[in-house]
Chain A
Amino acid sequence: MRDALARLPIPARLLTALLLLLGALVAPHAANLNPLILVFFYTATLWRLIAQRQPDVMPRRWLLMLLMIAAMALVVATTGVADGRLAGTALLIVMLGLKLLELRARRDIQVAVFLGYFLVLTQFLYDQSLPLAIYLFAGVIALMSIQVGLNRVNLELRLQLRNTLAMLAGALPLALVVFLLFPRLSDPLWGINASSAITGISDEMSLGDIGRLSQSNETAFRVRFFGESPESDERYWRGPVLWHTDGQRWTAGRHPVRPLPPGPGASQPIDYEVTLEPTGEYWLFGLDIVTDKPAATLLNSNYSLVATQRVNQRHTYRAVSDTAFRMQQLSDRERDMALQLPAQVSPRVSELVDGWRSTSDPQQPIQVVQQALAYFREQPFVYTLAPGELRGDVVDQFLFETRRGFCEHYAGSFTLLMRVAGIPSRVVLGYQGGEKNPHADHWVVRQSDAHAWTEVWLPLLGWWRVDPTAAVAPERIEQSIDTALSQNSDQVVFSIDDLGVVGSLWRNAAWLADAVDLGWHRWVVGFTADRQSSLLEMVGLRDVKGLGLALALTIGGALAITLVYIIAQLPRGRTQDPLPALWQTLLHKLQRAGVRAPPWQGPDTICAVAAESFPQARDQLLAINRMYIQLRYGQCGNQRQVGALRRRIARLRLKSS
């Protein structure tokens, strides 16, 4: 008896809207769940839709019980109980389906709407991409306006939506404050099954067994520089370092990976933030050379950044690099490793190297390096993504016969040549280059920017980067490879700016989407404990934890609420009553035509005076007067009549006769 609303029948339109909406919100789970679960849910939804026309097909209680048992069995049989996330989602969806089948009273819908909110949450556990998030939040808005509709007597869809949006606008500041200040855990409360590995750079390299390198245009990572960005020939993103070779394969070797002690710091620090796409590996990429590592990562003795756990989700980290920094250490053990040679080196290779050594100063190994680079530059080497497969002595064939290859061929054979010449050297994998997003403040490094280069040890200088690919194809270093054009041709096509109108529009749109996507990641998806504390530091709250954070949360929340209420209480600029404004319009018109309308005169008098001055407009004036008085002082009036009056006043023409 207390709640009359609860006993009202379900408005048909509202229920239809809810059923369709829930169907749309379940749909993205097709990618995650067993199809049978979805079939169960959509059957239930369809059943309820039909029951709306024919109420007698609503299932009875015993049938619902049977369906529930069947649903449980279905969940256990199809998804099992091992993966809590999957089982929970499946259970939620079948329960939602069953709930739809027992919706009878108006307030039952309320629970279905609640389950709908939870459904949206489960979607985020599988996919946090921006397009899906936009889709889901639109769904949340629709759910809210259905909830608002439930709690009023008569449905007014436009009003409901408007009220919902106003309520959301009011809730947003508080939600954002809590979002920014709510403490984040770095470890989950319960175990989570990690997802499987994804494409990216691996920590080994093999020459010759890939006839055609298939490159993807996918983003590897995005970088924001705080301050100056380095020149293109300095944008080498350092990954794993390879020491050991058998002539064909390069691997990291059995090198003791130990963390570096804190270095001397950068002389020309470049401060930047990387948002790495999931790789499934431990490697992080930093600008050559990282001097100040991000928290919770290691900088190993190769100056490669290593995460403490596999990067299975987008990961944002901030680091400092110095492109002028020199790695000076070389232990005896490292020297041995950097001179390691495969079991066999072909005579042609030894001959070539001997030639260089005989014409250079043994105290100046750099002369050998320069001769080797000159060799690559002057002989007819071709940079191509489709070099064809190589067998046997890969380096020998590449250097003297095919002379076609991509960065791995050049880096691998160059490093081997250096070692034959007695110069300690190693291969570095990573990315080179990157493209600035013209609409945002960040650079995009793609999988097609993956690169391999060589480091040689020179006395006094330390480890020195040499990129033999640059000797062959300097434009590879200046520009990115256009994967779409290069894929099907023998020649590598580098990105050019002349794209035509459609092409440049498309490219602009892609860049914009990229900017929005990074913003979504930086501020929402990748807002980790680290980012939270660096944000707090920015506003002067250093090392705020626990109680302090709770205090900040309370104060911030209170401020947000107060702000919204102050705005809500502000007087509305637009008056609700359109009639005074209409009357003013008429008065202006009359005054322009020369009719005196002093403020103490009422509509009757003013219109009568005007009608005398303008006899041909008399009927119009009297009609306006009648309508105005009816609307202003009469019992009722609606929007249509006000519109009619407005049109009449607009059409009124006063010409002096």
Chain B
Amino acid sequence: MRLANFLRVEHASAAGHAQINSRRIYILPTRYGLIFAALLFLMLLGAVNYGNNPAHLLTFLLAALASNAIYLTWRNLHGLRLVCQGAPAVFADEPGQFLVELDMDERERPAIQLMFEDSEAALLDLQAGSGRHSRTLTLEGMPRGLQRLGRLVISTQYPLGLFRAWCYLECDRPVLVYPRPGEPWTPTGGEGEDTLSGEFGSGNDDFMGLRGYRPGDQPSQIDWKSYARDRGLNTRMFSGQATAPVWIDWQQAPGPDTESRISALARAVIDAEAGGRRYGLKTPEGVFQPASGPAHRHQCLRHLALFGADHA
């Protein structure tokens, strides 16, 4: 789709807002449109040959309908307002969820298709009314880093399927892709103080309570009993894990190459956060002082996601 680079593309505002402008809409007949054209030609031939006026009328009616369909298909996209909310951070190779919100209008807009160039398409009938309709686009798994998405293709074939109108939308909403967590391992030592007593979730420590599941929590720490009771996924927390800060160190990370070390470090960050401990991160590109909480976890994982990239 190199050609698409030269085409007119709608740009979303910084906040992700965009309205589809008339000059950005492309329209071409679909395969069925071409078949229909051939059919109309045959019908006209029959009507002319037999000098049959009702057949003429039918043919011209269908032709007029098809020609109006150009406008109707175009109008189905024209003026559509939408907001690209972006996708929350995901782990590498896991499907992302890109949120798009579409404004409803006084007119319904059926069969709007939203699609990134290589992702699953989302289809919806946008009803008439006021308010917004939100829709998530499932993104394919991506490698770690700050991934720019291609342009969003918004298209429709309504009402007759004879024409496809589409437009390209460039929304600057890159997705942060965390490294894929590696195998669990135990970072040893921190600041030369204590060593960790065993693995996380060994069960030797006192049970402190449950908290909501976060991606990356170890299966052994999940409270399956409560899941079975339909209370959702929860992770068991144990005391003692929070006592001493643990340093997650590039030097100690197992693995033959950079990527597997990054994966191992990401795993350690996830586990430490899941275990409710304070943890710090040391890599050749930076040091994060021990802390805990979702923000700290995000900081660390982001650092690892962008590790090695120029803009880190």
Contacts and interface: CB of A to CB of B under 8 A. Distances in A.
Contact of A4 (B64, B110, B115): B115
A585 interface: no
Given A153-B111, A175-B60, A110 B161 contact: yes
B27 interface: no
A179 B51 contact: no
Given A4-B121, A118-B43, A178-B64, A526 B53 contact: yes
A174 B67 contact: yes
* Most A Cβ at <10 Å: residue of B59, B61, B111, B155: B61
Interface string B41-74: 0110111111111111111111111011101100
Interface in A557-596: 561, 564-565, 572, 576-577
Interface string B127-170: 01011000000000000000000000001011111001000000
B312 interface: no
Contacts of A125: 46, 50, 52, 55
Interface string A145-183: 001101111100001000100011011111110110010
User: For the complex, would chain A's binding face be called helix, strand, loop or mixed by DSSP majority?
Assistant: helix
Interface string B274-293: 00000000000000000000
Nearest to A114: B39
B128 to A, nearest CB: 7
Given A4-B123, A185-B48, A524-B53, A107 B113 contact: no
A185 B47 CA distance: 10
Contact of A121 (B43, B111, B130): B43
Interface stretch (A52-60, A186-194, A333-341): A186-194
A5 B68 contact: no
A182 B111 contact: no
Nearest to A130: B54
A129 to B, nearest CB: 10
Given A114-B36, A188-B49, A188-B51, A120 B58 contact: yes
Contacts of B58: 117, 120-121, 124, 137, 140
B7 interface: no
Given A151-B160, A188-B49, A117 B62 contact: yes
A527 interface: yes
Contacts of B61: 140, 168, 171-172, 175
A167 B160 CA distance: 10
Contacts of B46: 121-122, 125
Interface residues of A, number: 64
Contacts of B63: 175, 178
B158 A152 contact: yes
B57 A152 contact: no
A189 B48 CA distance: 8
Given A124-B52, A171-B64, A150 B43 contact: no
Given A107-B161, A163-B159, A170-B68, A133 B54 contact: yes
A5 B48 contact: no
A179 B43 CA distance: 14
B52 A128 contact: yes
B310 interface: no
Nearest to B164: A3
A539 interface: no
Given A5-B111, A121-B47, A178-B64, A525 B157 contact: no
B113 A85 contact: no
A261 to B, nearest CB: 31
A173 B125 CA distance: 29
B53 to A, nearest CB: 5
A577 B130 CA distance: 9
A192 B49 CA distance: 8
Nearest to A560: B64
A642 to B, nearest CB: 12
A148 B159 contact: yes
A148 B160 contact: yes
B106 interface: yes
B185 interface: no
B111 A152 contact: yes
A151 B43 contact: no
Given A150-B161, A163-B159, A190-B49, A179 B65 contact: no
Contacts of A171: 61, 64-65, 67-68
6 contacts: A153-B124, A178-B63, A179-B56, A188-B50, A524-B57, A525-B53
Given A4-B123, A128-B54, 10 more contacts: A4-B115, A124-B54, A125-B55, A152-B111, A178-B63, A184-B51, A190-B49, A524-B53, A576-B106, A576-B128
Chain A to chain B: the 4 pairs with minimum beta-carbon distance, closest first: A171-B64, A152-B110, A4-B121, A174-B64
